[in-house]
Amino acid sequence: MITVRGKTIDVLFSAEEIGVEVGRLAREIAASAAEDLVVVSVLKGAFVFAADLIRAMHHAGVAPQVEFISLSSYGAGTVGGEVNILRDIDADVAGRPVLLVDDILESGRTLAFARDLLLSRGATRVDLAVLLDKEGHRKAEIEADFVGFSCPDYFVVGYGMDVGHAFRELPFIGRVLD
């Protein structure tokens, strides 16, 4: 347990455990990576994971083009609905393989939307890499190709993920207890 901003946080995945998983994922991705790969990171939650992953991919011999997309499926509420593009990628993905990177796969609606969007733009394939997978929460038919951890059924923070715009800076993943 750790206290941050007056809140007690239970550490679920330490910085060291995350580092090991990111390295493993990068090696797995490198083993199947095609030439001219485009990595598309979903903002905001995946920015820390994506940064660590692409550096680890570099060490594994992969040199992708990196892009960012920002999507919203919540609007003013807390229940997911229609997915909107807040910031689109700049790259043309036609004829290129894409690795879509996100922090957590839960309902799958947003990632299914992003995958289908990239395929509709001519990507030859769209693989999905996620740090956390909450398998019991799927609302869309989508599975990740590369998964770091199976996530317990908690709302998690840290390593880029937030609650109320707080805790993204934590080097570990945990759950706020109070």
The reported pTM is 0.93
Q: How far is CA 112 from CA 22, 90, 145, 164, in A?
A: 23, 20, 13, 25
pLDDT of the residue at 77? 46
Number of Cβ atoms within 10 Å of the Cβ of 78: 6
Give the C-alpha separation, 74 to 76, whole Å.
6
pLDDT of the residue at 7? 86
Q: How far is CA 131 from CA 41, 75, 106, 151, in A?
A: 12, 24, 11, 9
Give the C-alpha separation, 87 to 48, whole Å.
18
Kindly report the CATH class assigned to 15-163: alpha beta
Per-residue pLDDT tens digits for 77-107: 445 568 999 999 999 999 999 999 999 999 9
Per-residue pLDDT tens digits for 4-51: 888 899 999 999 999 999 999 999 999 998 899 999 999 999 999 999
Residue in the structure block whose two tokens are 């990177």: 101
No. of helices (H) and no. of strands (E), the chain: 3, 9
Give the C-alpha separation, 102 to 147, whole Å.
10
Mean pLDDT of the chain: 93
DSSP 42-86: EETTTHHHHHHHHHHHHHTT---EEEEEEEES-TTSSS--S-EEE
